[in-house]
Amino acid sequence: MTKPSQAVSAILDAISSARIALNKNEPGSRESLIDHSRALIATLEIPSEFIQRTFWAEPAQSAIIRLAVDVKLFQHLQEAANASLSLSSLSQKTGVDATLLSSLARHLVAMKLITFDNGAFHATKMSNDLAADNFQHGICYCYDVVRPSVNAFPAFLKRIKYKSPSTDGTDVPFHDGHKTQLPFFEWLVATPPHLHQFDSFMSAYRAGKPNWYDFYPVSERIIEGFDSSTSDVLLVDVGGGRGHDAASFAAQYTSHPGKIVMQDREPVIASLLAQGSSQCFQAEVHNFFTPQPIKGARVYYLHSILHDWGDADSVKILESLVPALKKGYSRVLLNEIVVNEEEPTLAATSMDLMMLAHFGVRERTEAELGSLLTKAKLRLVKAFSFPGVAESLIEAELA
């Protein structure tokens, strides 16, 4: 067994290497530095410190941050900028009793979220970033919606005798946590403003991360070889929601050949058209459980579609594409979190548990995705990934 001092030395060496990589702006270096820092804490902490951090400090921080949204704590600190705010000034602006506020804010200082110097509180880059509307909504969504679902895990799994939940989403931790029988998205709609908060947060979820086309050779594997006599469609974004991916791709490849088509359910498309859809792609109503109407397109792109569904439904979604594909030409691109069994990332395992809590489904390994493709008479050609990015790009074609 490695001695603790040896383990710490090895981690410190890794941190030093990651720091050098970060200074060189190497991809994944920031994430690597964070991961090594977590490893250092895990190696140095004793059990009582671990419990205190995990069950006292971090839950308390979450609760205070949720309260901070209601009293605009981060916004007030942001507006003060370099001037900072004394306890009495911050109390007056937030409406929180000064004695109470001193305990709440002091914990945020201890957690490195804000700072205290010369008798006043100061914002940090993180607290300023969290003041943005989309992250304020994300805080509310995560605390009010996600947290009760996750808290329900122990009692729920005990109730179902530690078996995997049903993948149809009818009996999952979410239902116990929120004491409802409604499916997750129906509940979001029925309990405003949760749906708005969810949509707002998800719009920023991948902000700052590379897109799939940043690490997938688009020119080589999509644009080159495009044959307009087969189809005038270059890319079909299947289940593309509000078209963020389609618009982003079109903006990146302004001189792309062919059309870009974004498909989703009728209410989504109707809402998009009512607001004036982008001219860079064509919006079309389509249910991805039904046969794909666009035949012979160069690419059929599915972003985080399969992770919402169990294996049987995922195979049906893939099978609905098969008759539309031209052998040796059409590609299916799955933009999905791919779980690495040997070195799972926090981003992957966290999302895995979110999907389990709310839908009874889970993120998959490359082998599991390959198995789904095989059942749908497709074959996995290659998996593309990028350092520090949770999602990979799986390329498939007709078997």
- Kindly compute the dihedral angle of the four CA atoms of residues 104, 106, 107, 111, in this order, to the nearest 10 degrees: 140
What angle in degrees, to the nearest 10, is found between the helix axes of 87-94 and 98-110?
A: 110
Pairing mode of beta strands 391-398, 331-337: antiparallel
In a structure prediction context, what are the per-residue pLDDT tens digits for the chain, which is 399 residues long? 567 788 999 999 999 999 999 999 999 999 999 999 999 999 999 999 999 999 999 999 999 999 999 999 999 999 998 788 999 999 999 999 999 999 999 999 999 999 999 999 999 999 999 999 999 999 999 999 999 999 999 999 999 999 999 888 899 999 999 999 999 989 998 999 998 898 888 877 777 788 999 999 999 999 999 999 999 999 999 999 888 899 999 999 999 999 999 999 998 888 888 877 667 999 999 999 999 999 999 999 999 999 999 999 999 999 999 999 999 999 999 999 999 988 899 999 999 999 999 999 999 999 999 999 999 999 999 999 998 888 999 999 999
The set of residues, in sequence order, having a beta carbon less than 8 Å from that of 130 and lying 6+ positions away, is 65, 74, 136, 139
- Name which of 27, 38, 19 is nearest 343 in CA terms: 38
280 is written with which tokens?
């860079």
| pLDDT in the model for residue 205 | 78
| pLDDT in the model for residue 242 | 82
Pairing mode of beta strands 378-384, 331-337: unpaired
pTM for this entry: 0.88
Order of all β-strands in the sheet with 259-264:
282-285, 259-264, 233-238, 299-303, 331-337, 391-398, 378-384
Residues annotated catalytic, as ranges: 307
